[in-house]
Structure 1
Amino acid sequence: METRRRHNNQHFRRSEVNIMLLGGTGEGKSASGNTILGAEGIFQDEFLPEAVTRICQSEQTEVDGETVTVIDTVGLSDTNQMKITEAQTEIEQMLRRKNLDVFLLVIKLGHVFTKERSAVVQWIKDNFGEKFFQHTIVLFTYGDQLSVPIEDYLSKSQTLQDLLEKFSGRFHVFNNRNEDRSQVTALLHQINRLMMINENRRYTKKDYAMAQKSLLRNNCLNEAAKGAAAGAAAGAAAGAAGGAFAAKAGAVALTLGKGALIGASGGAVLLGVAACAGVYFLARKYIPRDVSVMQDEPERERLIRAAHRY
């Protein structure tokens, strides 16, 4: 049985490896891309406080007989909404041309893992979905700054331990100042082991589309909740104001106050209905019908009805 499994794994081995680098600004993504490619200056890696890589850049080389494609992406720490939208669009276009074998989540050693860095990981997870965890290796950079073994360093950070647990403990350390190619060979061996675990199933444009669909659905439901809360607050405020006016104005004004209260409540209901209707039609517009994105039509209609009920 073991011999047969080993034979199958060898059968699954590819001669082409597609890698995407992800992470915050200044973590060392571009420098790591240059290290993998074995050349300086292909990806710009100047030490600057803002992202250098525009959005996505793809380069290819041959390493140890394997064709390796490296895709560098914009730093996600300080990107505005326009840049994020552009990043989503370019990543989708990139995935139409190449499916991915592995994501390298790049993290710089020596810095505290702040809430901002955690938010970057969360953004990546939200946009790439649960399958992101199956195809990812954490790549620690600036390994030359370590004064202790990496295991000792990680043992002192519960946050990093929790992060690595999400990726089944997979990590690698780069010293981007070291020209020794053995660290690249070791990384490619680890990537090949991960590919075998995944039975050579790549992360595809369909996986990304499904993740984006889920993200859109959650955003729609969140907006519906906000709209309903705003409608309830507006109705309560209008009703209180009408009641105070009626108390001062007497019996005739009381009648008017009741009318105002009813009108305000009706307005609140209409506001809530409008918010839910907006979500309903937004879902119909943006939840795609393409069978390559949706599993089946009933699933699409279920999502729309769920948004409508909300």
Structure 2
Amino acid sequence: MNSTFVTEFLILGLTQKPELQGVLFIVFFCIYNIAFFGNMLIIIAIIYNTTLHTPMYILLLALAVVDIICTTSIIPKMLEVMLTSGNTISFGGCMTQLYFFTWSLGAEMVLFTTMAYDRYVAICFPLHYSAVMNRHTCVVLLSIVMVIAVTNSCVHTGLILRLSFCGPNTIDHFFCEIPPLLSLSCTPVRVNEVMVYVADITLAVGDFTLTCISYGFIIAAILRIRTAEGKKKAFSTCSSHLIVVSLYYSPVIYTYIRPASSYSFERDKIVTALYTLVTPTLNPIVYSFRNKEMQTGIRKVFAFLKQQ
């Protein structure tokens, strides 16, 4: 076949309108800094304060690391495309971005389920919490998260690598994601679509279902709390968690459960931004900054920095 194989891709970004590039650059630059420094503050606070070395906060630390990897694998290149004419990315760079993004995607979904299970045990079985959620259990759960995330990433990246890209090489998106890459392939993508569908059902739908079941038991336990103030506080925490989780899972399920031929990239860019940019920014606020123990830990970090 007389075909030229692609060595680099052209990323179109969020918009082709020059008048919007500057505004979008400022917006997403701010989002990235909030997400990065917010999650980094959580990591430092948990590591620095020994009182936070418990399963709940170790899982929060893992979520913060995943969010940093997710946003850092996407936004810097996205900002470069907006600010300069450097809208090309090498084939290897594209595959690297895809690998770390799919890794963080899988890790975050399983982490949400793990964190929901941790809260389920803490609220429904408080007397047995220390025995169930001990250091060994925490290590096992994090190992499961890592294995699933790495497997998910390796499978999808490997399946993309077996495809042939012989032109065009324009990615109508703001990063190298599976759907736009499949639409550029000049070889059949049926196996890729099947594996994306399987991953979406098992990881996204499966984890979301387990998370909702955990919170269902948690809400049932909250209803047995006698004081109105206790119910209000518990419901506030659970509702905010469920909103963030739903904001993450819904667009993921929507994006990956369809065949490549039905994608509308203009619409999907906005949907993708919800779970790649918005949720990592909200996680520190919802899961950590509203927590009194975490607030105390953060204050200790700032107090230590002032002394230096």
TM-score range, shorter chain: under 0.3
Structure whose alpha-carbon radius of gyration is higher: 1
Q: Which has the higher contact order (CA 8 A, sep 6+)?
A: 2
Give the TM-score normalised by structure 1: 0.26
**Structure number with higher strand proportion:** 1
